[in-house]
């Protein structure tokens, strides 16, 4: 059996497919992450505070694959405003703390995909924490 993280290479067609299904942003945040934030669908939550939520990715690319999302709907990193600076810093600090809690002492990767060419699949800003195995470079 091949586990999802054993075949981490995502080809261009799969990326385009993910981007096409993700949908755009709206004030009520119809993305899957908006539904998770509103507790309309379940998630394996590992951290929650007033600013962000962290949960396990349902399609992991490594043994540990966690997403950290802001509770404020920011579509993508390039759309963040100067007023969002403290939120952005909080997302990275939370990622560091979650990685420590998960025991990723040997290292991990932080990824933020931005836009179609960055293969962003959900248009709600999210930080990937990927670890639990030796990662390769370049990432894709």
Judge whether 128 counts as a catalytic residue: no
> What sign has the CA pseudo-torsion 76, 93, 139, 6?
negative
Three-state secondary structure along 55-90? EECCCCCCCEEEEEEECCCCCCHHHCCHHHHHHHHH
5 close to 65: Cβ distance less than 8 angstroms: yes
Catalytic residue among 73, 124, 126, 128: 126
φ, ψ of residue 95 to 5 degrees: the values are: -60, -45
Please tell me the distance from the alpha carbon of residue 60 to that of residue 131, in angstroms, as a whole number.
Answer: 10
Q: Active-site residues: which are they?
A: 126
């Amino acid at each position: 059996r091949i586990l999802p993280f054993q075949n981490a290479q995502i080809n261009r067609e799969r990326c385009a497919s993910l981007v096409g299904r993700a949908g755009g942003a709206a004030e009520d945040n119809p993305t899957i992450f908006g539904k998770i934030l509103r507790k309309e669908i379940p998630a394996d939550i590992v951290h929650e505070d007033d600013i962000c939520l962290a949960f396990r990715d349902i399609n992991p690319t490594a043994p540990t694959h966690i997403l950290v999302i802001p509770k404020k709907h920011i579509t993508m990193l390039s759309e963040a405003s100067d007023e969002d600076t403290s939120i952005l810093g909080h997302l990275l600090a939370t990622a560091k703390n979650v990685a420590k809690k998960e025991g990723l002492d040997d290292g991990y990767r932080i990824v933020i995909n931005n836009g179609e060419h960055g293969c962003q699949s959900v248009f709600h800003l999210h930080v990937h924490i990927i670890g639990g195995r030796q990662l390769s470079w370049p990432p894709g």
